[in-house]
A and B are shown apart, each in its own frame.
Chain A
Amino acid sequence: MPEVRVVNLTKKFGEVTALDNVNLVVHDQEYFSLLGPSGCGKTTLLRLIAGLIEPDGGEIYIGDKRVDDVPPEDRDCGFVFQTFALFPHMNVWDNVLYGPRVKNFNLKQAETIGDEVLELVKLHERLDAYPGELSGGMMQRIAVARALAAGAKILLLDEPLGQLDAKVRNEIRYEIRKMAKDLNLTAIHVTHDQSEAMSISDRIAVMKKGKIVQVGTPQELYMSPNCLFVAHFIGESNFLEGIVTEIMANELEIELRGCFKVRAALNGAKKGNRVVLAVRPEIFTIERGTVEKENALVGKVEKITFEGTFVRYVIKLESQDSVVVIKPSMAEAWFEVGTKVTLSFAAEKTHVFPYPEAGLTEEISV
């Protein structure tokens, strides 16, 4: 099965640049996700790979073959649409056999393939049903089966779970991954749902405004975001603004608003630089009252939200900044609204980013 490579790919729609000089390699048999907010260009990239739209610049390779000028029917890319696009005038069997038929496979061969893929998606008993008679989950499975039956070597999935309810979505996402892995396919999955991407992908490309901002495994993106946008988009982060006051051997000292002095991981910043400190909500320890210790922030509990597994606190710091803290709901006693608390964190678990020229709000906006 082939790898997919795009080089300096650019696509414009009128004045709008949907993709701006994008470079990407999706490895053979990898389950890869394109993740980003609406309008970031992820679906455009997927459609360019499928050949459904033509690039304005750059190159697309499937395996060693350059395919920019190859029509979609000759790329062997199975495309699963968000709306599934099952042909409404054909039953399940005819939908699944459409690919083998238009590719002029002999009848027996086509039927064998149809049987195999329907077995795979466990929908053999609905052969005669029309798309309008199927549930969302079934339609989704048939859409995948149809793409596989056409002999796809690469599976391109455009928000394939977007139309399903939460429970079915959680079940099916693992099924799709398992199917792709069992068949040794290369799969590219477009989604705006970070938990979906994190749970099924080998690697993820995070996109923003037509560019890829970071590519990595789910753990890499969460643990080591390379920019404020990724720190904000993947998981949750508290952003605290400050100035670098000291550079030490392994750490920085930052003075935050409200004269809190904290230490954080080195990031190449120089003394006097304006920076943003990113701290994940689960990194904080929380203690009652004022506690003198390193990397401590003092404030009051402003709001408590019970979320089942976790309790979410909003703490108003003395600097008037608000931070979010998440704690396991069953693990410890809760704090009441108005309680004075001290938050602290380990320096090595934080991330420091230069303060963005366009401003923090603009930088993390989706």
Chain B
Amino acid sequence: MKRNAFQRSVVRVLNKLSSKKALKYAMYLSAVIVFFAFILLPPILGVIVKWTAIEQVFNQPVLMGRALSSIGNSFTIAILVSILDIVAGIPMAWLISRGKSKWLSVLDTLADIPFIVPTAALGYSLLLFWHEPMGISGLFGGSLVSTGWLLVLLLHFTFSYPVVVRVLVGALLDYKMEYERASRTLGAVPFVAFRTVTSPIIKPSLIAAFVLSFARSLSETGATFIVAGAFENGPVFLQNVRNDFANGIVPQATYEGATVFASVILIVLSCTIFALIRILGPRLKLPFKGIWPSTERRLSYSKAAFSRNTLTLLVFFAIVLAPALFVAVPAFQALFTPTLSDAVSSSGVWSGYWQSLLLSYGLGAIVTVLGFFIGLPMAILIARRKLGKSTSAVLDILVNIPLIVPSIALGVSLNFFWKGSFPFMPEMLVLIFAHLSITYPYFVRSMSAAFERVSVDVEEAARTLGAKPFSVFSSIVFPLTKYSILSGAIMVFTRSVSETGATVAVVSNLRTAPVVIVDWVRGTVPATSLEIGLGCGFLVLFSFLILFTLRMVTRGKGRY
């Protein structure tokens, strides 16, 4: 690639600067400071700022009981969903990674679809499918699944299942098949080979999938709020208390007390469980002792394998894919009604819709760009252990915290901190900070993993050939990792566009698209099912188009 004189001089300056050790360490230090100042400490300080309000809850046993039971519900649902995800995800991942049919690549793509449906739209889609007469309930002459814990469970399963499948497919593809083949030649039938050799080796991925599913379930707010009905989990409780405060049902002190109380317990419990899984996970022994020759042989071959595959596909199509895409039905119907012209002309409920859509995507883009710049030095720090092995390990754990903390609890704490400490700060800025906090781990994790995959030898070879640190990064490391960086960017963007919990916690006037959808569904702003369907449809369509364009632009690039 030829550079003009200006570009050459810029590169020369950057090369010169990158060679200065002091400047390099200043950059790493600023990455750490930014992380603590904007990502990690604000939510902690936010809780501390309002700590005294917690007394309010101790004086109201009913409220405390409600908060505790909702938090208990959160963890129960999260554990159940994570177990179901692993149980259902393993055979699906197995089918995708080991099957021989050419249709499996289609299945692989289909498995990602719930990813691109923003969770608020997903919640409405599931509500229609399981609960409303126009969905599967219509076949049974009533509501098949009422709003409540079961629908919440189904919802959380639907959006976390693709994450688990993706992680497990990756693990099975990376897994050295030689181990399994060796096991077979030593006398193990396929089921025994999986149980005794494959699953212990991919155990870290099983644990990672479990943690991701667990964290997503704990964190999700918008869609859960749509399908929860009278059922309350932690995020729904926080949302309800906030609504009660907004409607003048509870005073500010009670609202703040209940919010701090629930947020602190959610954050502390999430971190404790995460730490326990990290510590105990590697020590967990998967069952090996004992062989059941005839049973396991039966489970390995023909009929059992066929039944397992059929059941796996049935679960995927009936419980994940069809409910996730069901919102397309009212969206499609709306195209042939005046709803479409109302939407285009921004009349009625649509008056704020397009701005909210623009806000969602604009916010997503801003957060993605900012996330890249503040996440990049941190990713290098962690991957290349620039501040020493133990400091890097600690940072690696700390950057994960926003991932496991329920987003509404994070949003509430951030709201207390930013609005309490800087009352004149524009709401948009608080919103950006909240979304940055939530998406920060996605960028740092994907980039640091990508940097770790680039051998240090390659960088050292470039240095010995005369390249300065900036040139090494721009001409060697970046081209080798850009696909992962773009994947991280896509993940950050979709997460930001989908985010509801933290958004509702920090905004008073601004409405992002998922918040508008939640308002419509909950009746805060009255809307018909066609309007909600079309609103969700636009959200899904634009998300799909943006992601599709990004995939097209980046397809095949950066894979070496």
Contact = CB atoms under 8 A, between A and B. Distances in A.
Contacts of A50: 185
B182 A102 contact: no
Contact of A77 (B176, B178, B185): B185
Contacts of B187: 73-74, 99, 102-103, 150-151
A126 interface: no
Interface stretch (B144-152, B189-197, B267-275): B189-197
A50 B187 CA distance: 11
Contacts of B185: 50-52, 72-73, 75, 77-79, 147, 150, 156
Contact of A146 (B186, B196, B197, B293): B186
Interface residues of A, number: 28
Nearest to B187: A103
B174 to A, nearest CB: 14
A24 interface: no
Contact of B192 (A88, A102, A147, A150): A102
Contacts of B176: 83, 85
Interface string A65-82: 000000111110111010
B99 to A, nearest CB: 15
B184 interface: yes
A31 interface: no
- The residue among B184, B200, B291 with the most chain A CB atoms within 10 A of its own CB is B184
A98 B178 contact: no
B453 interface: no
Contact of B189 (A71, A78, A87, A146): A71
B207 to A, nearest CB: 14
- The residue among A73, A98, A103 with the most chain B CB atoms within 10 A of its own CB is A73
A156 to B, nearest CB: 8
A50 B181 CA distance: 10
A102 B188 contact: yes
Contact of B188 (A52, A73, A78, A156): A73
A85 B198 CA distance: 12
A98 B186 contact: yes
A88 B291 contact: no
Contacts of A73: 184-189
B200 A99 contact: no
B113 interface: no
B179 interface: yes
B183 A88 contact: no
A167 interface: no
B291 A101 contact: yes
Contacts of B181: 52, 72, 79, 81, 85
A320 interface: no
Contact of A79 (B182, B197, B291): B182
B201 interface: yes
B200 A102 contact: no
A89 interface: yes
Interface in A82-129: 83, 85, 87-89, 98-99, 101-104
A16 to B, nearest CB: 17
Interface string A160-175: 0000000000000000
A89 B188 CA distance: 17
Interface string A138-162: 0000000011001100001000000
Contact of B182 (A51, A74, A81): A81
Nearest to B296: A102
Q: Which 9 A/B pairs are nearest by Cβ-Cβ distance?
A: A85-B182, A79-B185, A85-B178, A99-B186, A72-B184, A102-B188, A103-B187, A150-B186, A89-B200
12 contacts: A51-B185, A71-B184, A72-B184, A72-B185, A88-B201, A89-B201, A98-B183, A98-B186, A98-B188, A99-B186, A147-B186, A150-B185
